[in-house]
Amino acid sequence: MAETLTGKVGVVTGAASGIGLATTQSLVDAGVKVVMVDRDREKLEELATRFGDRVVVQVTDLLDPGSCDAMVPEILDKVGRIDIMHCNAGSYIGGDLMDTDAEKIDRMLNLNVNAVMKNVRAVVPAMKEQGGGDIMVTCSVAGHGAVDREPVYASSKWAINCFVQVMRRQLRHDNIRVGQVSPGPVTTALLNDWPQDQLAAIKEEKALMEPEEVAESVMFMLQRPRHVSVRDVIIVPTTLDM
């Protein structure tokens, strides 16, 4: 039996587009008040007009240490509690390592790894105090296998895969569930760096998923009864399932 989420408060990072926006929509439809976190103020304000009082806007630049550190305290001041934290924001680098500069590597690791760890560390005390919660992380199928054209991206997701497994064990006695959804290629802005000929080919092969399909997996995990934890969901296009 699915657990109702009505009346809960959720936080989604990277909420202005892609998987974050699709998850926001699904949570709102389930009766959750959603704090939409993104650095794009203009887009967030536009979406707030669409969603109305079902969402709260939180402008945060996760790559700015001060802004990142202030995020959870600012959200708690606005809404009082956090029942669901979906750490979804991330970036992508593909291609050979030697074609990637040091600045891009730092940016990706700071966003894909460090910001997630900081956000989780910040929200755990509040969840413990209120008696529980759910922490969801958007990982990637690249975090479960060595992808030869993604040395930086895949390594960041391997790190997060490990982090999720460890935190789930640390928090299991606090009624805080920790899980990750690991999608294959999804039609989001993260694919903008892909070679255009390769992107066109995989679209033709129906080898891309929609953000809404990933959001459905997140909702499945969140709606399990409290005594059930879904640790990991790997969701990939059937044509790429090897």
**pLDDT of 198 strictly over 80:** no
| DSSP β-bridge partners for residue 192 | none
pTM score > 0.85 for this model?
yes
| Catalytic annotation, residues | 153
Quickly name the fold that domain 9-236 has.
Rossmann fold (3.40.50)
The alpha-helical segments, DSSP class H, found in the chain are 18-29, 41-51, 65-79, 102-109, 115-130, 151-171, 196-204, 211-222
- Please give the C-alpha separations between residue 11 and each of 15, 94, 194, 242, in angstroms, as whole numbers: 9, 28, 29, 34
Extents of the domains making up the chain: 9-236
Q: Cα–Cα distance between 110 and 200 in angstroms, integer?
A: 30
Instruction: Provide the terminal-to-terminal Cα distance of the chain, rounded to the nearest Å.
Output: 32
- With bands split at pLDDT 50, 70 and 90, how would you rate the model's confidence at 237? confident
Looking at 66-75, 150-159, 182-191, which range is the least confident one?
Answer: 182-191
pLDDT for 145 equals 85
- The answer to whether residues 34 and 56 touch, using CB atoms and an 8 Å cutoff, is yes
**pLDDT of 190 strictly over 60:** no
Q: SS in 3 state form for 148-199?
A: CCCHHHHHHHHHHHHHHHHHHHHHHHHCEEEEEEEECCECCHHHHHCCHHHH
**pLDDT of 193 strictly over 80:** no
Percent of the chain with pLDDT over 90: 76
Q: Cα–Cα distance between 82 and 55 in angstroms, integer?
A: 13
- The answer to whether residues 34 and 54 touch, using CB atoms and an 8 Å cutoff, is yes
Pick the residue with more confidence: 112 or 236?
A: 112
- With bands split at pLDDT 50, 70 and 90, how would you rate the model's confidence at 200? low
Taking residues 73-92, what's their average pLDDT?
A: 96
Interval 36-66: pLDDT, tens: 999 999 999 999 999 999 999 999 999 999 9
Residue with tokens 């299991």: 172
Looking at 50-54, 172-176, 199-203, which range is the least confident one?
Answer: 199-203
pLDDT for 239 equals 78
pLDDT for 187 equals 77
Percent of the chain with pLDDT over 70: 90
pLDDT for 13 equals 98
Taking residues 183-212, what's their average pLDDT?
A: 73
Output the average pLDDT for the chain: 92
**pLDDT of 194 strictly over 70:** no
